Amino acid sequence: MDPIKMIQKAVNLYGNCSEDITVVITSRILFDENNADQVCFDQVDLADNFNGNAYNHVMGQAKLGGLCSVGRRVAIVEDAPPTYSLIQIIAHELAHTLGATHDGDNPFKDIADMAKSKCQPYTGHMMAPSAHGSNNGHFSDCSIEQIRAFVSKLE
């Protein structure tokens, strides 16, 4: 299932809750495409569409800057037993909800005036476009700058 459609279904289910953020953790998609109101097992891995081809190495999805925002405060993380790599994936997706973009992407529009740095994409930090880099347990300086800028704008 397309992660954009899936995150929208999660937003419909959980996005209006009173919590600051809801993280859905699964080893499989929790949504039936034909019935978004019911949570069920669909036996389809989280996947993305890349240049018209299915790309099933997506490990999470979150709304950028979604923390504390009604209708946007949801992240979904896929844990693949027996790897149990969800800790780093949760940290990565929560950073997205805190306004951090992937290293190499421009800063989130809501904080672009405060966080002007664009991270290098291939240093292997936590927000690198692909997982398991040499610095994967650490955020790059510009990711930290983006998170600080976002948090400073929270009310």
**For residue range 70-128, what is the model confidence (pLDDT) as tens digits?**
877 888 887 767 766 788 888 998 999 999 998 988 888 888 787 777 788 888 999 98
pLDDT for position 28: 59
Confidence of residue 149 (pLDDT cuts 50, 70, 90): very high
Looking at residue 141, its pLDDT comes to 92
pTM: 0.74
Specify the long-range contacts of residues 47-54, CB closer than 8 Å, at least 24 apart. Answer: 47/1, 47/2, 47/3, 48/2, 48/3, 49/2
93 given a catalytic annotation? yes
149 or 129: which carries more pLDDT confidence? 149
Question: For the chain, percent helix, then strand, then coil, each to nearest 5?
Answer: 25, 20, 55
What residue numbers does the annotated binding site for Zn(2+) cover?
92, 96, 102
**Active-site choice (19, 78, 93, 145):** 93
Residue 76 pairs with which residues in a beta bridge?
24, 61
